[in-house]
Structure 1
Amino acid sequence: MRTVAIDLGGTAVKLGVFESGRLVTHDEFATVEGQIGLDEVAQRVESLLDGERAGAIGIAVPGVVDPQGSSLLAAHGKYAELHDLDLSAWSASRFGCPAVVENDARAALIGEITDGVARGSRDALLIVLGTGIGTAAIVDGRIIRGRRGHGAILGGHITLDLDGPRCPCGNIGCAEALASTWALAADAASGRLTLGRELASRLADPGTIGIRDLVETRHEAESAAILDRYLRTWSAVIVTQCHAFDPDVVIVTGGVMRSADVILPALEARVHADLWSSSFRPPLVTPDDPATSVLRGLAALADDLDSKGRP
Structure 2
Amino acid sequence: MRIAAIDFGGTAVKLGVFDSRTLVAQEEIAIGEAGVDLASVADRVGRLLDGAEPAALGIAVPGIVDESGSSLLAAHGKYADLHGVDLRAWSREQFGVAATVENDARAALIGEMVAGSARGARDAALIVLGTGIGTAAALDGRIVRGAHGHGGILGGHVTVDVLGPRCTCGNIGCAEALASTWALAADARAGRLDLGPALAARLAEDGAIGIRDLVETRDEAESQSLLERYISVWAAAVVTHCHAFDPEVVVLTGGVLRSADAILPALRETVHQNLWSSSFRPAFVVPEDPSASVMRGIAALAADPDPLDLSEGQS
TM-score (norm 1): 0.97
Match of 1:84 in 2: 84
**Aligned counterparts, 1:261-280, within 5 A:** 261-280=261-280
**Aligned counterparts, 1:144-223, within 5 A:** 144-223=144-223
Counterpart Cα distance in 1 of 2:28 and 2:197: 36
Match of 1:119 in 2: 119
Per-residue deviation, residues 60-104 of structure 1 (Å, max 9, x unmatched): 001011122211000011111111111011101111100110000
CA RMSD of aligned residues (A): 1.2
Counterpart Cα distance in 2 of 1:61 and 1:117: 22
Counterpart Cα distance in 1 of 2:277 and 2:252: 22
Identity of aligned residues (%): 68
1:34 Cα shift?
Answer: 6.5
1:305 Cα shift?
Answer: 3.7
Structure 2, unpaired ranges of 5+: 308-315
1:74 aligns with 2:69: no
Per-residue deviation, residues 159-210 of structure 1 (Å, max 9, x unmatched): 1111111111111111100000011111111111101111111111111100
1:29 Cα shift?
Answer: 1.5
Secondary structure at 2:55 match in 1:
strand
Match of 2:311 in 1: none
Structure 1, unpaired ranges of 5+: none
Q: Conserved in 2, the CA contact under 8 Å of 1:10 and 1:34?
A: no
Counterpart Cα distance in 2 of 1:246 and 1:26: 35
Counterpart Cα distance in 1 of 2:20 and 2:64: 29
Q: Conserved in 2, the CA contact under 8 Å of 1:145 and 1:152?
A: yes
**Aligned counterparts, 1:1-311, within 5 A:** 1-33=1-33, 35-305=35-305
Matched letter for residue 251 of structure 2: I
Aligned length: 307
Matched letter for residue 135 of structure 1: T
Counterpart Cα distance in 2 of 1:10 and 1:38: 16
Counterpart Cα distance in 2 of 1:224 and 1:289: 27
Q: Conserved in 2, the CA contact under 8 Å of 1:11 and 1:34?
A: no
* Displacement over 2 Å in runs of 4+: none
Matched letter for residue 194 of structure 2: T
Per-residue deviation, residues 275-298 of structure 1 (Å, max 9, x unmatched): 000000011111011110001001
Matched letter for residue 55 of structure 2: G
